[in-house]
Amino acid sequence: MIPHFRACNIYIDLKSPPPLATYNHITSHYQPSPTPGHTLLTLTRIWSWLFYTRRFLPPCKNGSIFSSSPFLPIPMVLATNLDSDPNPISGGLVVGNYCHDVLHRDGHIIGETLGGAAAFISNVLDSLSPSPTRYVSKVGSDFAYEVTHAPLVSGSSPTTLFHAHFPDSISETGYHGDRVLKRVKVCDPIWPSDLPELKERFEIGLAVGVAGEITIETLERMIELCRVVFVDVQGLIRSFDPVDGTVGLVPLKSTPYFDLLSRIGFLKVSSDEAPFVDIEEARKLCCVVVTEGKDGCRVYWKDGELHVAPFPANQVDPTGAGDSFFGGFVVGLLWGLTVPDAALLGNLLGSITVGQVGVPQFDPIMLENIKQVLDSMAAARKGSDANDTLFKFQKSSRHDEFQGSLQEIVKLKTCFELSNGDIDKCGNFHDIEN
């Protein structure tokens, strides 16, 4: 695939392409090197140089750079993180610890499952992503589950353990609203040294901590490693009571992570977390996606906002719904969908997740049908104007059609379950609060 470009002037040494230019952070302009042999290329010649060298250019003024991924047909809104001569870029990098989750209701344990955002996200990416993904997670020697992507094992700490307490009545206050979450045990943080070396580069990165395991230094390293970074704010603003581990929230601005917002691409926030983020301020620095449970999600960016419709579901366990949403959202973007279309896919997978306890088991036929729809959407975009712009934040011309296709896939899955006697009525779903 031929990389595409924006209109910005870049100075390149024709005899020795890298380094391309010096970026002056005071004037916010590229300046040519004073050495002989440098000349200003026209946009046409930049295109030719890209085609024959396949090198990646440094970011232009607004932080955007070029994308040559076959599954990312448009340039992405990126952090200013790659130097002028990076190594070959592979798929994705997911960073966040696996956990043990124990579910309580009415004082009784009703379930013990694998937890952690990385577990739910890997379940989605492994099923639907068009490109490979590496995972960096850390557990203790007591880790009780078999996972596809082996974690690092700490010799000095146990696996992170959460207890989720579900009351008889739904509370209207507090984090997670309908449950009290407590961190009982905590594993070691993920340090920058745990991540791949800088010679490895990734198309995307997902920072999905759940228990404070992603340090500020680790997030900075991810920004250096990845062309665009997606961050779940829960890993940045959670607080933990020193006595009983009850999970609370602190304002994002009070943390050192706030200063990195301008260097990431997308920030995922739940409706419970939104009051602690200052959406109006954050949207000026990156795209903010707020999940709203049974109401779908809302996307905020510098120049606008929009609502993306939900899918109905039958709630059994809300744990991990936001993680599955995030995984689906990223998968959609990897397939070249617009941001609203990708959010539709995220909403669908989040709604399916709440119907099962723990990490969901997705129906293989359903997954295959979703892949076929994604392939059709990607093929349609190849013949459109998808290659002359950055991420599209407006709904595509096929948005409603895409939504209808996903609804039909869920309906088919439901009717198949009916034929096996698993549910009592085809399509009998109820709105839920994710």
Please identify every residue annotated as catalytic.
Answer: 323
Q: What is the DSSP string of 127-171?
A: HH-SS-EEEE-EEETT-----SSPPEEESSSPPEEEEEEE-SS--
Angle 186-220-213 from CA coordinates, rounded to 5°: 5
The distance of Cα 366 from the centroid of its chain, to the nearest Å, equals 22
Angle between helix axes 339-353 and 364-382 (nearest 10 degrees) is 180
Nearest in space to 263 (alpha carbons), one of 21, 59, 86, 10: 59
Residue 337 is classified by DSSP as: -
Both ends of the chain: CA-CA distance in Å? 39
Would you say 334 and 129 are in contact if contact means Cβ atoms under 8 Å apart? yes
Angle 150-154-157 from CA coordinates, rounded to 5°: 130
How many residues in the chain? 434
Residue appearing with tokens 């890993």: 235
The residue type of 64 is S
CA torsion angle for 265, 270, 276, 278 (degrees, to 10)? 50
The residue type of 395 is K
Would you say 77 and 204 are in contact if contact means Cβ atoms under 8 Å apart? no
Cα distance between residue 432 and residue 416, in whole Å: 22
The residue type of 132 is P
The tokens describing 123, both together, are 């379940």
